[in-house]
Chain A
Amino acid sequence: MLKNEDSKPNHWLTAALLMPTTMWFVFMLILPLIVILIFSFGERAAVGGYAASFTFEQYANLPSRLKAFQNTMIFAPIGTLLSLFMAYPLAYYLALRVDRRYKFILLVLVIVPFWTSLLIRTYAWIFILGGRGIPLMLEWIGIEGVRLVNTPGAVLIGIVYGYLPLMVFPIFVSLEKIDKNLLEASNDLGGTPFKTFMQITLPLSMLGVATGCMLVFILLMGEFLIPAFLGGGKVFFIGNALVDLFLQSRNWPFGSAVSVTLVVIMLITVSLYMRLTMRTKTGRDESLM
Chain B
Amino acid sequence: MSKINKENKPITSEKLMNELHRYQKGSITRRHFLEVTGLGAAMTVLGTAMPSLLPRKAHAFGNLGNRLVFATWPNYHNQVNLDEFTKMTGVHLQMNAFGSNEEMLAKLQAGGTGWDVIVPTNYTITNYVNLGLIQPLDLSRLPNYDGSANDPMFAGPATVNGTVYCVPKNWGTTGFIINTKKIKSSPKSWKDFFDVTMGAGSGHTIVHDYQLTTIGAALCALGYSFNSIDPNELAEAEALLIKSKPHLFAITSDYQPGMRSGDAWMSICWNGDATQLKNDLPEMDYVIATDGGEIWTDFYAIPTGAPHLDAAYVFINYLQDPYIQAREASVHGYAPTDSRAIALQPDSLGSDPILHPAAELLNGLEFGAAQTMTDPVRAEVIARFKSA
A binding-site residues for B, Cβ under 8 Å:
44, 46-49, 64-65, 67-68, 126-127, 130-133, 147, 149-150, 232-234, 236, 240-241, 244-251
A241 near B379: Cβ-Cβ < 8 Å? no
B386 near A130: Cβ-Cβ < 8 Å? no
In this assembly, does B359 line the interface, its C-beta being within 8 Å of a C-beta of chain A? no
Q: Which residues of B contact A249 (CB under 8 A)?
A: 102, 211, 376, 379-380, 382-383
Task: Select which of A67, A131, A133 is within 8 A of B387 by beta carbon.
Answer: A67
Docked complex Cα distance between A246 and B110 (Å): 9
In this assembly, does B257 line the interface, its C-beta being within 8 Å of a C-beta of chain A? yes
Task: Select which of B100, B203, B261, B262 is within 8 A of A248 by beta carbon.
Answer: B100
B251 near A232: Cβ-Cβ < 8 Å? yes
B252 near A48: Cβ-Cβ < 8 Å? no
Docked complex Cα distance between A126 and B250 (Å): 12
Residue on B nearest A69 in the bound complex, by CB: B387
Residue on B nearest A231 in the bound complex, by CB: B250
Q: Which residues of B contact A246 (CB under 8 A)?
A: 106
Given A130-B258, A131-B263, also A233-B251 (CB < 8 A): yes
Given A130-B261, A149-B263, A249-B102, also A234-B376 (CB < 8 A): no
B262 near A131: Cβ-Cβ < 8 Å? yes
Q: Which residues of A contact B203 (CB under 8 A)?
A: 147
Closest 10 A-B residue pairs measured CB to CB? A232-B250, A233-B251, A249-B379, A131-B263, A131-B261, A130-B261, A131-B262, A47-B374, A68-B387, A247-B106
A44 near B387: Cβ-Cβ < 8 Å? no
For B228-251 the 0/1 string (1 means CB < 8 A from A) is: 000000000000000001001111
Interface size class of B (residues with CB under 8 A): 20 to 34
Docked complex Cα distance between A249 and B249 (Å): 23
Docked complex Cα distance between A132 and B127 (Å): 43
In this assembly, does B153 line the interface, its C-beta being within 8 Å of a C-beta of chain A? no
Q: Which residues of A contact B211 (CB under 8 A)?
A: 248-249
Given A48-B109, A65-B387, A240-B386, also A248-B103 (CB < 8 A): yes
Measured between C-beta atoms, what is the minimum distance from B160 to chain A in Å? 15
A47 near B103: Cβ-Cβ < 8 Å? no
Q: Which residues of B contact A132 (CB under 8 A)?
A: 261-262
29 CB-based A-B contacts, threshold 8 Å = A46-B374, A47-B127, A47-B130, A48-B106, A49-B109, A130-B257, A130-B258, A131-B263, A132-B261, A132-B262, A133-B261, A147-B203, A149-B263, A232-B258, A233-B209, A233-B252, A234-B245, A234-B248, A240-B387, A246-B106, A247-B103, A247-B107, A248-B106, A250-B102, A250-B105, A250-B109, A250-B379, A251-B376, A251-B383
B387 near A244: Cβ-Cβ < 8 Å? yes
Q: Which residues of B contact A250 (CB under 8 A)?
A: 102, 105-106, 109, 379
For B246-281 the 0/1 string (1 means CB < 8 A from A) is: 001111100001100111000000000000000000
Measured between C-beta atoms, what is the minimum distance from B206 to chain A in Å? 8
Docked complex Cα distance between A241 and B380 (Å): 11
Residue on A nearest B207 in the bound complex, by CB: A233
